Chains A and B, each alone.
Chain A
Amino acid sequence: MSKTLYTKDHEYIRIDGDTGAVGITDFAQGQLGDVVFVELPQVGATHKKGEAAAVVESVKAASEVYTPVAGDVIEVNGELEDNPAIVNEDAGGKGWFFKVKIADQSELACLLDEAAYKDLIATLA
C-alpha cells in the first residue's frame, strides 16, 4: 500500500516501495492559482534532500519544488509540459512532477504525515 508524506514547504511524496512520486499539495496549487508552466528535472539527475528539482510557474510567479528526500530522478511526468493545468485539477494524483529512487529511507522520518500536514495548513488558512 502506498503512503504519502509531506514537507512543511507543501511538497508531497507518494511512496511505493523504494521509489516515490513527488508533487505539490492541493493546498499549494490553490495558493499558486492557475499553473501555466512546469520545468521538470532530467531523468538520471541526483538531488539532495531539500534541493530545488523542479519549477512551477503560475500566472503570477515562479516557485521552486524541493525534493523531499535525496535520490535519483527515475521518471518525470511529461504530460505536465503539454498540460500544466493538471497540477490544478489533480495535484495529489495525476499532477505528480517526478519520481525518485529513495536513497536513504531514514530521511522519510523527517517528513510530516497527513495529520501533521493538515495541522500545518490549518495554521495558514
Chain B
Amino acid sequence: MTIQNITSQDISAQPERTPLYARHVALGGRMTPFAGYELPVNYRSGIIAEHLFTRENAGLFDVSHMGQAFLSGADAARKFESLVPGDVCGLAPGRTRYTQFTNEDGGVLDDLMVTRLDAAGEKLFLVVNAACKTADFELLREKLPELRLEILEDRALLALQGPRAGSVLERHIPGVAQMVFMSLQEFAWRGAALFVTRSGYTGEDGFEISVPAVIADDLAAALLAEEEVRAIGLGARDSLRLEAGLCLYGHELDETTSPIEAALNWSISKRRRQEGGFPGAARVQRELAQGVFRVRVGLALDGKAPARDGAEIADTNGVIVGRVTSGGFSPSLGRPIAMGYVPPSLSTPGTELSLIVRGKPLAAHVVALPFVATRYHRVAKN
C-alpha cells in the first residue's frame, strides 16, 4: 500500500520547528512537514478522538506557522482596503474581520483575519496563512510602501477551541470570557503581552492567542494541565473546519476563484460592494449582479466511502459539472462529507449528484453549510 504524505519526507527544504516542537514530540505527535513547518497530524489518541474532544471540551492547536503582522501608518485602514474586499474602515476599534487578498481578476490570493487596533485606523493586526505569508507580506510591501509592516516572527500562535475554551482560559487570563466574538484584546501574562482574539477555525467558540515565542510553551503547558484541554493536531483541525463549512486556501480558494463563487458574500459589506476599490472589484460586482457560473456547496455522501479533493462531481445524467475541493470523514456525523463547486442550478440543498471515486459514481446530495451547527460566542442584542 502507499502511505501518502506520511513516511515520505520533504527533503527539498528543512522544515522549521515551532516553539512547541519538543512538546508535540513528547505528547506522541506524528510530525509531518506542513507549509514549511514540522507539525503534528495527530497525537496518540488519533484524529477522531481529538476531533470529538474539541467539540465537547477545549482543544489546543499550535498554529504558530501562520503569519502575524502589524500594519501601521497614516490611513492604514483605508489603504489596506485597496487590497481586500472586506470593510476595514467600518470596523470598530478592537474588532476583527475575515477577508481575502484578491488579484486583478477577482481571484483569491489568500484569506486572512484583520483587526483594527485603534480608533484612528492607523494600526492593523493581520493573521495570514502559512503557505501564503511570504507572498502576502511581499504584496503589502509592494502595494503599500508608505505603511510600516512589522512581521511578528518572534511570536507563536495558539488556538484554544471548544465549548469549554472560555471558562478554561478565564482561569489563566482573567477577562477573556467577557470578550465578544471577532474581537481582539491585549492581556498581560507572566509580564508579557498576549494578543487574544475570540475567533477560530472549528465552528466552536474559542480564542487565538498571539504569545511571545519564548513563553509559548509555558502557556501551552499551563493550558494542557487543565483537564478540559488536550493537544489537537492538524488532522482534526481540518476535519473540524470542514464540518464548520470553512474554506481552506489551496482547496476551496485559489487565484482563479472569486469570493462570490466561494459563497463568501457575507464578508463583503454593502459599501464595499457599491464602491469597489479592491483588486478584481469589477468581477465581484458583476457576479453579485448577474450571478456566478459555479458556487461552493456542501455535499453529503449517501454511502460510507469518502470522496477526496479532486473527485469529479456529476449530475444525474452523468455529466461532469464540478469538482470536490475538500472531502473526508465527518467524526461528528459519522459519515463522509465534502465541499466542492457546482453550477448554481445544481446548488439547492437536496439536489442529487454523484461524486466519482476510483471511476465509480458515489451517490451524494447538496446540503446547507455548515454541516455541523456553529457555536460561536454571540452576545444577545438588547
Contact = CB atoms under 8 A, between A and B. Distances in A.
Interface of A: 9-11, 24, 28, 31-34, 36-37, 39, 55-66, 81, 88, 124
Contacts of A65: 1
Contacts of B47: 33-34, 58-60
Interface of B: 1-7, 30, 41-42, 46-48, 235, 238-239, 304-306, 308, 328-329, 331, 336, 358
A62 B5 CA distance: 11
A8 B82 CA distance: 55
A65 B30 CA distance: 22
B284 to A, nearest CB: 34
A124 B1 contact: no
Contacts of B308: 61-62
Nearest to B358: A55
Contacts, number: 71
B328 A63 contact: no
Given A59-B239, A124-B7, A24 B305 contact: no
A10 B3 CA distance: 9
Nearest to B47: A59
B235 A59 contact: yes
Contacts of B3: 10, 28, 31-32, 63
B48 A63 contact: no
Contacts of B331: 59
Which one of A31, A60, A81 has the highest number of Cβ atoms from chain B below 10 Å of its Cβ?
A60
Contacts of A61: 4-5, 308
B1 A64 contact: yes
Given A31-B3, A33-B30, A36-B48, 16 more contacts: A9-B2, A24-B1, A28-B1, A31-B6, A36-B329, A37-B304, A37-B305, A39-B358, A55-B358, A59-B48, A60-B47, A60-B328, A61-B308, A62-B306, A62-B308, A63-B2
Contact of B329 (A59, A88, A124): A59
Which 10 pairs across A and B sit closest by C-beta, in order of nearness? A36-B329, A59-B47, A34-B48, A63-B1, A61-B4, A31-B6, A65-B1, A34-B46, A31-B3, A59-B329
Contacts of A60: 5, 41, 47, 235, 238, 328
A62 to B, nearest CB: 6
B242 to A, nearest CB: 10
Nearest to A84: B304
Nearest to A65: B1
B1 A33 contact: no
Contact of A57 (B6, B235, B239, B305): B305
A10 B7 CA distance: 12
A10 B328 CA distance: 23
13 contacts: A10-B1, A28-B1, A33-B47, A34-B46, A36-B48, A36-B306, A37-B304, A37-B306, A39-B305, A57-B305, A59-B328, A60-B5, A61-B4
Contacts of B306: 36-37, 57, 62
Which one of B5, B48, B308 has the highest number of Cβ atoms from chain A below 10 Å of its Cβ?
B48
Contacts of B5: 60-61
A11 B329 CA distance: 24
Which one of B6, B30, B47, B308 has the highest number of Cβ atoms from chain A below 10 Å of its Cβ?
B6
Contacts of B1: 9-11, 24, 28, 56, 63-66
A9 to B, nearest CB: 5
Contacts of A31: 3, 6-7, 30
Contacts of B48: 34, 36, 59
B240 to A, nearest CB: 11
Contacts of A56: 1
Contacts of B239: 59
Which one of B1, B5, B6, B336 has the highest number of Cβ atoms from chain A below 10 Å of its Cβ?
B1
Nearest to B42: A33
B287 to A, nearest CB: 33
B9 to A, nearest CB: 10
Given A55-B358, A63-B2, A33 B235 contact: yes
Contacts of B7: 31, 124
Contacts of B238: 60
A11 B336 CA distance: 26
B235 to A, nearest CB: 6
A59 B299 CA distance: 17
